[in-house]
């Protein structure tokens, strides 16, 4: 059995900003209306979301016998100025950073990743975006924040400016967050809805649970849409990669120090992208989230 206090302490020591632990019970449709979202076609071209639906709802299908989901938060700096690039992509590539920290946690906790083992033999699984599990809904379940009207996780310390990672494990923990109820902390606020340039923030008529229509989302189109041209009605609001419009107006502002800040080298690299040729673009984006798009997409998005 893992001591929950030790887990949270180690998470902070390896570089995370917060940690919570939830029981590995299945998410409910009220928490995560995945099937309703898919039925509406609001996943756009994200066809991978149609796979492993049950697994996305229940981590015990990802790791047989799972008892705990250890959720970790890594805060990143919100944009200090407009730059056409979503804030999370302006710094180092977070997938590798988060996975490295999660591996360190496993080692400190005396757990084995068994990465090469068959899924049926796996006892611990590291997750960060590329695994069929909903990072933000598990973070909410673990008491690290709530899902706002913009469908993003809102944390009390860093607002929406966070990246997430998890360890799904068969180990029991000494203490869990007791399945917090999703509350309407957004109340009557609709700033994010009004700020979205394409009206992508919506909901299903029968539940009123906030959902994102990716077919209208500038972030989806600038990153995931590989077409030569974008739909003419999609407004990018100056963004060539991602979009921060809904986050920038969210009243849950950052009120604590961000551990990682943009360096002068980061700022110089970002500044060079405006006039970069293909070779320079590849070099400048090699170790950032910007490497998810090709140079031709970058040029297309700078319309």
Which sequence positions are flagged as catalytic?
129
Helices in 214-259 by DSSP H: which ranges? 218-223, 245-248
**Which residues, 6 or more positions from 99, have their beta carbon under 8 angstroms from its beta carbon?**
126, 128, 165
Residue with tokens 């990743």: 113
Sign of CA dihedral 172, 178, 184, 186: negative
**Under 8 Å CB-to-CB from 138, ≥6 apart: which residues?**
22, 27, 59, 69, 71, 166
- The number of residues in the chain equals 303
Q: Report whether 248 contacts 54 (CB < 8 A).
A: no
Q: How many beta carbons lie within 10 A of that of residue 157, not counting itself? A: 18
d(CA 101, CA 39): 36
Q: What is the DSSP secondary-structure string of 109-151?
A: HT----TTS-GGG-SEEEESSSSSS-HHHHHHHTTS-EE-TTS
Task: Give how far Cα 36 sits from Cα of 85, 196, 207, 221, Å.
Answer: 30, 22, 10, 21
Who contacts 185 (Cβ-Cβ below 8 Å, separation ≥6)? 146, 148, 154
Task: Report the Cα–Cα distance between both ends of the chain, in Å, rounded.
Answer: 55
Q: How far apart are CA 21 and CA 288, in angstroms?
A: 29
């Amino acid at each position: 059995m893992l001591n929950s206090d030790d887990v949270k302490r180690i998470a902070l020591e390896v570089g995370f900003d917060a940690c919570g632990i939830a029981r590995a019970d299945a998410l409910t449709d009220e928490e995560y209306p995945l099937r309703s979202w898919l039925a509406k076609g609001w996943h756009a071209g994200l066809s991978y979301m149609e796979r492993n639906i049950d697994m996305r709802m229940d981590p015990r299908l990802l790791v047989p016998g799972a008892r705990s989901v250890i959720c970790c938060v890594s805060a990143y700096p919100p944009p200090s100025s407009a730059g056409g690039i979503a804030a999370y992509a302006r710094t180092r590539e977070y997938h590798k950073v988060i996975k490295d920290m999660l591996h360190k946690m496993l080692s400190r906790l005396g757990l084995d990743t068994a990465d090469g083992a068959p899924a049926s033999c796996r006892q611990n699984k590291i997750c960060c975006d590329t695994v069929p599990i909903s990072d933000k809904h598990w973070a909410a379940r673990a008491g690290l924040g709530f899902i706002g009207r913009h469908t993003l996780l809102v944390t009390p310390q860093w607002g929406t400016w966070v990246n997430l990672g998890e360890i799904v494990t068969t180990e029991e923990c000494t203490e869990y967050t007791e399945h917090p109820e999703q509350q309407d902390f957004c109340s009557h606020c609709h700033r994010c809805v009004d700020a979205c340039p394409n009206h992508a923030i919506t909901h299903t008529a029968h539940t009123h649970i906030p959902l994102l229509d990716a077919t209208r989302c500038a972030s989806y189109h600038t990153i995931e849409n590989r077409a030569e041209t974008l739909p003419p009605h999609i407004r990018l609001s100056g963004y060539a990669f991602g979009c921060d419009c809904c986050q920038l107006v969210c009243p849950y502002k950052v009120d604590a120090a961000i551990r990682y800040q943009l360096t002068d080298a980061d700022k110089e690299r970002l500044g060079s992208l405006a006039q970069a040729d293909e070779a320079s673009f590849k070099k400048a984006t090699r170790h950032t989230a910007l490497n998810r798009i090709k140079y031709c997409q970058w040029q297309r998005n700078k319309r």
